[in-house]
Structure 1
Amino acid sequence: MAVWFSKQARHNFASTGAFWPTIRLCSRGMQSLPQPQTPEPLVEGCPVVELYDDPRDIENILRVLYDPVLFISPKQSSFAMVVSLVRMGRKYEFDKLWIVGLLVLLEAGIPMTLAEYDGLRDASYELGFTDKHPGLYIDILNLLREHNILAFLPSVYYIVIQKYSVQQLFDGVPRGDGTTAVLTTQDLRQCMLSRDKIRRAQFQPGYALSWLSPTPLDTIGGAPSCLAFRSRNMPAYATTSALCLLDPELSDNVHKMLRRNGLCSTCCDEARAVQKAGRQKGWEDLPSFFDLAPWSELAFELKIIMGGPREEGMEWDFL
């Protein structure tokens, strides 16, 4: 930085109509640093401040500061803008800016509830960003991990292992612009371990696929068609991570499919009931599969970060 301004200097500078910065928490200690001996060039009477951040981040932050209407419709924001808000907001302690980035993530569709996850899955995991690309969820996961934003991690981790193949998890996913979205070594390890953990747990009592496991009724005279159905389908489901299946109450197709494939009416009803309760349990337990705190703690942390719950119709008054 070429020149330091005191409060009085800033006042005098402002009276000329030129731009002057506000001293923030991130720059309070700079006054004690040595002043440069050689005068630096000015631009229209203003000192030049050198920043070493990504030029795209600086451009995005300036766009937000000078054009707040960018967030009148948060669902039309770009993910690149979210990255800049979070990265620059955290680095320079512009709290309201990076909090806006989190709000935009929520508005774009990152789920915090099972109902929100169902809606996102129904939309083929399409988020409300203007700059979508195939590796978007990997980029989102990297952003959350880089800045230790834990509240969104369970759902984003789960979507990543649902959406991408093992090869994509290891090799990365091309963004379409010549670059590739790649998981960090730590997140790759977490995804593979959690994927295996979910596949082993989803057949356990209480989870959505537990109805595929043999029951006492089967062993004492269950219908042969039901026994055959379970033995035939359990290996197929073992290759998926189906902790939070579709709600069987939303469609009769599930019931018809089970009956058509040999499951008796009693077992069909049981399967639907188990699946409905199990998918809720799967969502409630989701953070534990990724070695994270329970949803209640994650939600409380997010509430504290954002300064309290956001009320309906809350304005985006972050300036």
Structure 2
Amino acid sequence: MTPPPSKRARTSSTSGDTNRMEFEELTKLKRRENMWFEDGNIVLATDVHLYCVHRGVLARNSTFFKEMLELPNVGNTSNSEVGSIENGDSWEGKPLVRMVGDRDEDVYHILMALYDVRFYSAHKPTTLPVFLSLIRMGTKYNFSHILDEISLHIKLAYPTDLDSMVERTYEELFVCYDNNNDFQLLLVAEQCDMKILLPMLYFDCADSSLSTILEESKDLDLPNSILLKILRGYEKISRYATQRGIRSFSPHRKCTLSCQTARMELFANYTENPPYFSVHDLLQRNPIKVDKNLRLSVCENCEKASFDASEDLRLEIWNAIPSMFELGSWEDYRSE
């Protein structure tokens, strides 16, 4: 059972105080046992749990907390607000900071990342909820070390150079990857201004099926500005997918009758049954799956011409990705 606070928080009767936790609400909160340290010297309160942690740990890892905790009113009984954090109350004689507007799971995840070295690392996969929490809390409160780890981690799945696309993998980023992860991550990346993530996230979302784009947009209540960027990208990627078929098989390229016939049939098969994620596959140099017998009928010169044309298209698409979504050019991301 959670003990009562050492002194009741004083609240004013002004309308500005209507969103503040009342004494009765505070007493209903439960301790998060694995984040309640008996030697802790500050208590964080969400709308679900209380966390007794250490001022020094927060201040050392977050410039926001460092500056906030240096204010003279932290731990006193007069309420004040700093950003989205209400402070000035106490709990069992320890300063109480109310994490106004923060999700309980976000506060828990960031504290776990600070206190348990096994919880999150750029060198092992994590879950999407943890990743989203760390982005939200890391950017909001400037946990610089956590943000550095995230930046290192995301390059495996969301590269900013074409060479890295060949080795692109999600397995080292997420424990369980789902294509729909991209839409959730895009929304949080936009909200938190994680610019380094945006080009590839927009590209991944736009390379989904139209039904997926519309369903995810509805489920996540994506802002119209984001949805419009995705839809414009979807149109461009669809055209690039067609271009890949043309440049791969060049059905009207003059050659022997058997070679030209084979390429025409390969092109027809490609357009009649367009492969999923064709443009993604091109960027990662994954070959188009085709009828082996038809492929054998294509001559060596046409194979080389096809490869060269596809490589030119690959570079063209890569360079166009940021501008597809009104995000500048890749040069803007070199220093990120």
Shorter-chain TM-score bucket reads: 0.5 to 0.7
Q: Deviations over 1:99-120 (max 9, x none)?
A: 333333335x333334443344
Is 1:171 aligned with 2:219? no
Q: What SS does structure 1 have at the residue aligned with 2:327?
A: coil
Distance 2:265 2:228 in 1: 34
Query: One-letter code of the match for 1:299?
Result: R
Aligned to 1:194: 233
Q: Deviations over 1:173-219 (max 9, x none)?
A: 99xxxxx5564422221111111123335566xx784355565748x
Distance 1:208 1:119, change over 3 A: farther
How large is the RMSD of aligned CA atoms in angstroms?
Answer: 4.3
Deviation at 1:161, TM superposition (A): 2.8
Aligned to 1:100: 149
1:202-221 mapped onto 2 (5 Å cutoff): 209-212=246-249, 217=254
Is 1:142 aligned with 2:187? yes
Which of the residues 279, 286, 290 maps onto 1:243? 279
Which of the residues 74, 77, 94 maps onto 2:123? 74
Q: Deviations over 1:41-68 (max 9, x none)?
A: 7444313222121110111111122213
Query: One-letter code of the match for 2:261?
Result: S
Query: One-letter code of the match for 1:273?
Result: D
Q: Give the % identical residues.
A: 20
- Higher-RCO chain (CA-CA 8 Å, sequence separation at least 6): 1
Comparing 230-239 with 66-75, greater Cα deviation is found at 230-239
Aligned to 2:50: none
Q: Deviations over 1:140-182 (max 9, x none)?
A: 11121111222222222222233x32111101299xxxxx556
Q: Deviations over 1:4-57 (max 9, x none)?
A: xxxxxxxxxxxx965252564452795479x6459x874443132221211101
Deviation at 1:129, TM superposition (A): 1.8
List runs of 5+ in structure 2 lacking aligned partners: 1-7, 11-37, 43-54, 80-87
Is 1:185 aligned with 2:213? no
Query: One-letter code of the match for 1:192?
Result: L
Aligned to 2:304: 269
Distance 2:116 2:78 in 1: 37
CA contact under 8 A between 2:160 and 2:333: conserved in structure 1? Answer: no
Q: What SS does structure 1 have at the residue aligned with 2:97?
A: coil
Query: One-letter code of the match for 1:19?
Result: N
Distance 1:165 1:2, change over 3 A: same
Comparing 137-146 with 276-285, greater Cα deviation is found at 276-285
Is 1:299 aligned with 2:321? no
Aligned to 2:133: 84
Aligned pairs, number: 273
CA contact under 8 A between 2:196 and 2:333: conserved in structure 1? Answer: yes
When normalised by structure 1's length, the TM-score is 0.66
Distance 1:30 1:251 in 2: 60
CA contact under 8 A between 1:89 and 1:98: conserved in structure 2? Answer: yes
Distance 2:151 2:330 in 1: 17
Is 1:259 aligned with 2:295? yes
Deviation at 1:252, TM superposition (A): 10
List runs of 5+ in structure 1 lacking aligned partners: 4-15, 175-179, 303-319
